[in-house]
Protein backbone atom coordinates (compact mmCIF):
# COMPACT_ATOMS: atom_id res chain seq x y z
CA UNK A 1 0.00 0.00 0.00
CA UNK A 2 1.23 3.44 -0.90
CA UNK A 3 1.29 5.37 2.38
CA UNK A 4 1.37 9.01 1.36
CA UNK A 5 -2.02 10.63 1.73
CA UNK A 6 -3.58 7.54 3.33
CA UNK A 7 -5.06 7.48 6.85
CA UNK A 8 -4.19 5.24 9.80
CA UNK A 9 -5.94 4.85 13.13
CA UNK A 10 -3.50 3.94 15.92
CA UNK A 11 -4.87 2.71 19.23
CA UNK A 12 -2.68 3.29 22.26
CA UNK A 13 -1.01 6.00 20.17
CA UNK A 14 -0.28 8.30 23.10
CA UNK A 15 2.76 6.33 24.27
CA UNK A 16 5.08 3.38 23.71
CA UNK A 17 4.66 1.25 20.61
CA UNK A 18 1.60 3.17 19.45
CA UNK A 19 3.24 6.57 19.70
CA UNK A 20 6.35 5.39 17.82
CA UNK A 21 4.11 3.94 15.10
CA UNK A 22 2.03 7.10 14.82
CA UNK A 23 5.17 9.20 14.48
CA UNK A 24 6.78 6.97 11.86
CA UNK A 25 3.68 6.64 9.71
CA UNK A 26 3.06 10.38 9.91
CA UNK A 27 6.64 10.98 8.76
CA UNK A 28 5.89 8.63 5.83
CA UNK A 29 3.05 10.92 4.75
CA UNK A 30 0.03 9.32 6.39
CA UNK A 31 -2.78 11.10 8.19
CA UNK A 32 -2.96 9.80 11.76
CA UNK A 33 -5.87 9.48 14.16
CA UNK A 34 -4.62 8.60 17.63
CA UNK A 35 -7.12 6.70 19.75
CA UNK A 36 -6.30 6.55 23.44
CA UNK A 37 -7.83 7.02 26.85
CA UNK A 38 -9.16 10.27 28.27
CA UNK A 39 -6.35 11.91 30.22
CA UNK A 40 -3.57 10.38 28.11
CA UNK A 41 -0.99 12.39 26.17
CA UNK A 42 -2.82 11.68 22.92
CA UNK A 43 -3.78 15.31 22.28
CA UNK A 44 -0.19 16.46 22.88
CA UNK A 45 1.21 13.81 20.55
CA UNK A 46 -1.28 14.74 17.82
CA UNK A 47 -0.52 18.46 18.24
CA UNK A 48 3.21 17.79 17.94
CA UNK A 49 2.67 15.83 14.73
CA UNK A 50 0.76 18.72 13.13
CA UNK A 51 -2.29 19.35 11.00
CA UNK A 52 -2.46 15.85 9.51
CA UNK A 53 -2.95 14.26 12.94
CA UNK A 54 -5.81 14.21 15.42
CA UNK A 55 -6.69 12.67 18.76
CA UNK A 56 -9.88 10.93 19.79
CA UNK A 57 -10.41 10.05 23.47
CA UNK A 58 -11.86 6.56 23.47
CA UNK A 59 -12.08 3.09 24.97
CA UNK A 60 -11.31 0.16 22.67
CA UNK A 61 -13.91 -1.98 24.42
CA UNK A 62 -16.75 0.43 23.60
CA UNK A 63 -18.63 -0.14 20.34
CA UNK A 64 -20.01 3.40 20.37
CA UNK A 65 -16.72 5.19 21.12
CA UNK A 66 -14.68 3.22 18.60
CA UNK A 67 -17.33 3.75 15.92
CA UNK A 68 -17.15 7.47 16.73
CA UNK A 69 -13.36 7.42 16.31
CA UNK A 70 -13.55 5.55 13.00
CA UNK A 71 -16.18 8.00 11.73
CA UNK A 72 -13.97 10.89 12.86
CA UNK A 73 -11.06 9.56 10.81
CA UNK A 74 -13.23 9.23 7.71
CA UNK A 75 -14.83 12.65 8.20
CA UNK A 76 -11.59 14.50 8.88
CA UNK A 77 -9.28 12.80 6.39
CA UNK A 78 -11.66 11.42 3.76
CA UNK A 79 -11.24 7.74 4.51
CA UNK A 80 -9.51 5.08 6.60
CA UNK A 81 -6.89 2.75 5.17
CA UNK A 82 -5.21 1.13 8.17
CA UNK A 83 -5.76 0.36 11.83
CA UNK A 84 -2.84 -0.49 14.10
CA UNK A 85 -3.86 -1.89 17.47
CA UNK A 86 -1.33 -1.11 20.20
CA UNK A 87 -3.67 -0.52 23.15
CA UNK A 88 -3.46 -3.09 25.90
CA UNK A 89 -3.04 -3.86 29.58
CA UNK A 90 -0.94 -6.30 31.57
CA UNK A 91 -1.24 -8.06 34.90
CA UNK A 92 0.71 -10.42 37.11
CA UNK A 93 -1.35 -13.02 38.93
CA UNK A 94 -1.15 -16.79 39.27
CA UNK A 95 -4.08 -19.09 38.64
CA UNK A 96 -3.80 -20.11 42.28
CA UNK A 97 -1.70 -18.30 44.87
CA UNK A 98 -1.32 -18.28 48.65
CA UNK A 99 -4.29 -15.92 48.85
CA UNK A 100 -6.52 -18.19 46.76
CA UNK A 101 -7.71 -18.41 43.13
CA UNK A 102 -7.10 -15.50 40.76
CA UNK A 103 -9.81 -12.86 40.84
CA UNK A 104 -12.07 -13.73 37.92
CA UNK A 105 -12.82 -10.07 37.24
CA UNK A 106 -9.09 -9.44 36.77
CA UNK A 107 -8.90 -12.21 34.17
CA UNK A 108 -12.00 -10.88 32.42
CA UNK A 109 -10.61 -7.33 32.36
CA UNK A 110 -7.38 -8.35 30.62
CA UNK A 111 -9.25 -10.47 28.06
CA UNK A 112 -11.79 -7.70 27.45
CA UNK A 113 -9.26 -4.93 26.87
CA UNK A 114 -6.62 -6.87 24.95
CA UNK A 115 -8.62 -9.39 22.94
CA UNK A 116 -12.18 -8.06 22.73
CA UNK A 117 -10.88 -4.50 22.34
CA UNK A 118 -8.63 -5.50 19.46
CA UNK A 119 -11.46 -7.31 17.70
CA UNK A 120 -13.82 -4.39 18.28
CA UNK A 121 -11.45 -2.00 16.52
CA UNK A 122 -10.84 -4.48 13.68
CA UNK A 123 -14.51 -5.12 12.98
CA UNK A 124 -15.40 -1.41 12.88
CA UNK A 125 -12.28 -0.25 11.04
CA UNK A 126 -12.69 -2.98 8.41
CA UNK A 127 -16.15 -1.68 7.55
CA UNK A 128 -14.76 1.78 6.80
CA UNK A 129 -11.73 0.39 4.96
CA UNK A 130 -13.95 -1.81 2.79
CA UNK A 131 -15.49 1.33 1.25
CA UNK A 132 -12.15 2.42 -0.26
CA UNK A 133 -11.43 2.18 -3.97
CA UNK A 134 -9.06 -0.81 -4.38
CA UNK A 135 -5.57 -0.41 -5.81
CA UNK A 136 -4.18 -2.44 -8.72
CA UNK A 137 -3.84 -5.52 -6.45
CA UNK A 138 -7.40 -5.14 -5.22
CA UNK A 139 -6.18 -3.95 -1.84
CA UNK A 140 -8.23 -1.49 0.19
CA UNK A 141 -6.31 -1.46 3.46
CA UNK A 142 -4.51 -3.25 6.28
CA UNK A 143 -5.11 -4.23 9.90
CA UNK A 144 -2.14 -4.75 12.23
CA UNK A 145 -2.66 -6.24 15.68
CA UNK A 146 -0.24 -6.52 18.60
CA UNK A 147 0.20 -9.81 20.41
CA UNK A 148 3.26 -10.76 22.49
CA UNK A 149 5.75 -13.59 22.72
CA UNK A 150 3.84 -14.38 25.93
CA UNK A 151 1.29 -15.95 23.60
CA UNK A 152 3.88 -18.69 22.98
CA UNK A 153 6.16 -18.52 26.05
CA UNK A 154 3.85 -17.28 28.80
CA UNK A 155 5.59 -17.05 32.15
CA UNK A 156 4.38 -17.75 35.68
CA UNK A 157 1.75 -15.16 36.54
CA UNK A 158 0.98 -14.38 32.89
CA UNK A 159 -2.00 -16.67 32.38
CA UNK A 160 -4.48 -13.84 31.72
CA UNK A 161 -2.07 -11.82 29.58
CA UNK A 162 -0.90 -14.86 27.61
CA UNK A 163 -4.48 -15.97 27.00
CA UNK A 164 -5.43 -12.53 25.68
CA UNK A 165 -2.42 -12.36 23.39
CA UNK A 166 -2.85 -15.97 22.29
CA UNK A 167 -6.34 -15.03 21.14
CA UNK A 168 -4.92 -12.19 19.07
CA UNK A 169 -2.43 -14.61 17.48
CA UNK A 170 -5.24 -17.02 16.64
CA UNK A 171 -7.33 -14.29 15.00
CA UNK A 172 -4.74 -13.41 12.37
CA UNK A 173 -5.38 -16.11 9.79
CA UNK A 174 -9.18 -16.46 10.06
CA UNK A 175 -9.57 -12.69 10.05
CA UNK A 176 -7.39 -12.43 6.95
CA UNK A 177 -9.58 -15.09 5.33
CA UNK A 178 -12.75 -13.29 6.43
CA UNK A 179 -11.57 -10.06 4.83
CA UNK A 180 -9.84 -11.29 1.68
CA UNK A 181 -12.86 -10.53 -0.51
CA UNK A 182 -12.86 -7.00 0.91
CA UNK A 183 -9.24 -6.47 -0.10
CA UNK A 184 -8.04 -6.08 3.49
CA UNK A 185 -4.85 -7.70 4.75
CA UNK A 186 -4.34 -8.68 8.41
CA UNK A 187 -1.04 -9.22 10.24
CA UNK A 188 -0.01 -9.53 13.87
CA UNK A 189 3.24 -8.45 15.50
CA UNK A 190 4.34 -10.38 18.61
CA UNK A 191 6.94 -8.21 20.38
CA UNK A 192 9.40 -9.44 22.95
CA UNK A 193 10.67 -7.18 25.74
CA UNK A 194 10.38 -3.58 24.59
CA UNK A 195 11.32 -0.31 26.26
CA UNK A 196 7.80 0.96 26.91
CA UNK A 197 6.34 3.09 29.74
CA UNK A 198 5.40 -0.09 31.60
CA UNK A 199 9.06 -1.16 31.82
CA UNK A 200 10.15 2.40 32.62
CA UNK A 201 8.68 1.86 36.10
CA UNK A 202 11.29 -0.81 36.86
CA UNK A 203 14.67 -0.03 38.49
CA UNK A 204 17.60 0.43 36.11
CA UNK A 205 19.20 -2.84 37.26
CA UNK A 206 16.04 -4.79 36.47
CA UNK A 207 15.74 -3.16 33.04
CA UNK A 208 19.40 -3.98 32.34
CA UNK A 209 18.89 -7.62 33.33
CA UNK A 210 15.84 -7.94 31.11
CA UNK A 211 17.75 -6.51 28.16
CA UNK A 212 20.66 -8.87 28.70
CA UNK A 213 18.27 -11.85 28.60
CA UNK A 214 17.68 -11.20 24.89
CA UNK A 215 20.07 -13.36 22.78
CA UNK A 216 20.83 -10.71 20.15
CA UNK A 217 20.79 -7.79 20.23
CA UNK A 218 21.16 -8.08 24.01
CA UNK A 219 18.99 -5.11 24.93
CA UNK A 220 15.39 -4.02 25.22
CA UNK A 221 13.58 -3.49 21.96
CA UNK A 222 13.07 0.09 20.82
CA UNK A 223 9.48 1.10 20.01
CA UNK A 224 10.84 2.59 16.78
CA UNK A 225 11.73 -0.96 15.70
CA UNK A 226 8.13 -2.03 16.15
CA UNK A 227 7.07 0.99 14.11
CA UNK A 228 9.54 0.06 11.37
CA UNK A 229 7.96 -3.39 11.06
CA UNK A 230 4.44 -1.93 11.06
CA UNK A 231 5.41 0.38 8.20
CA UNK A 232 6.85 -2.54 6.24
CA UNK A 233 3.71 -4.63 6.73
CA UNK A 234 1.61 -1.79 5.33
CA UNK A 235 3.86 -1.53 2.29
CA UNK A 236 4.39 -5.23 1.53
CA UNK A 237 1.29 -6.66 -0.22
CA UNK A 238 2.30 -10.30 0.26
CA UNK A 239 2.30 -10.10 4.06
CA UNK A 240 -1.11 -11.39 5.08
CA UNK A 241 -2.46 -13.69 7.79
CA UNK A 242 0.97 -13.74 9.39
CA UNK A 243 2.18 -13.50 12.99
CA UNK A 244 5.70 -12.06 13.21
CA UNK A 245 7.81 -12.40 16.34
CA UNK A 246 9.91 -9.31 17.00
CA UNK A 247 12.04 -10.47 19.92
CA UNK A 248 15.77 -10.80 19.19
CA UNK A 249 15.42 -14.63 19.33
CA UNK A 250 14.18 -14.51 22.93
CA UNK A 251 12.36 -17.55 24.31
CA UNK A 252 11.13 -16.75 27.80
CA UNK A 253 11.82 -19.07 30.73
CA UNK A 254 9.02 -19.98 33.17
CA UNK A 255 9.99 -17.01 35.35
The answer to whether residue 11 is domain-embedded is: yes
How confident is the prediction for the chain on average, in pLDDT?
96
Q: Which of 161, 172, 175, 184 is catalytic?
A: 161
Q: pLDDT tens across 118-158, in order?
A: 999 999 999 999 999 999 999 999 999 999 999 999 999 99
**Residues 177 and 241 sit within 8 Å (Cβ to Cβ):** yes
What is the pLDDT confidence band of residue 202, given thresholds at 50, 70 and 90?
A: confident
What is the average per-residue pLDDT within 89-102? 95
3-class secondary structure per residue, the chain? CCCCCCEEEEECCCCHHHHHHHHHHHHCCCEEEEEECCCCCHHHHHHHHCCCEEEEECCCCCHHHHHHHHHHHHHHHCCCCEEEECCCCCCCECCEECCEECCHHHHHHHHHHHHHHHHHHHHHHHHHHCCCCCCCCCCCEEEEEECCCHHHHCCCCEHHHHHHHHHHHHHHHHHHHHHHHHCEEEEEEEECCECCHHHHCCCHHHHHHHHHCCCCCCCCECHHHHHHHHHHHHHCCCCCCEEEEECCCCCCCCC
Q: Is residue 252 part of a domain?
A: no
> φ and ψ at 158, to 5 degrees?
-110, 20
Is 26 among the domain residues? Answer: yes
Which range marks the domain in which residue 225 is found? 7-246
Q: Is residue 254 part of a domain?
A: no
161 is catalytic: yes
The answer as to whether 1 is a domain residue is: no
Residue range 225-248, pLDDT digits in tens: 999 999 999 999 999 999 999 999
What global pTM score does this model have?
0.96
CATH at residue 229: 3.40.50.720
Residue 2 lies in a domain: no
Per DSSP, what are the bridge partners of residue 54? Answer: 33
Give me the number of domains the chain comprises.
1
pLDDT digits (tens, 9 = 90+) for 1-50: 999 999 999 999 999 999 999 999 999 999 999 999 999 999 999 999 99
Rounded Cα distance between 230 and 24, Å, is 9
Amino acid sequence: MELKGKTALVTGGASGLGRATAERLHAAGMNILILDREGSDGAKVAAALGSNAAFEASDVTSAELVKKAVDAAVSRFGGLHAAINCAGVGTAARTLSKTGPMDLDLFKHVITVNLVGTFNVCRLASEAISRNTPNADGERGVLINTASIAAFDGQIGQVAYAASKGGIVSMALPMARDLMKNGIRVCTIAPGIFDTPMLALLPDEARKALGESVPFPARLGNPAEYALLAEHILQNPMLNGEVIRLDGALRMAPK
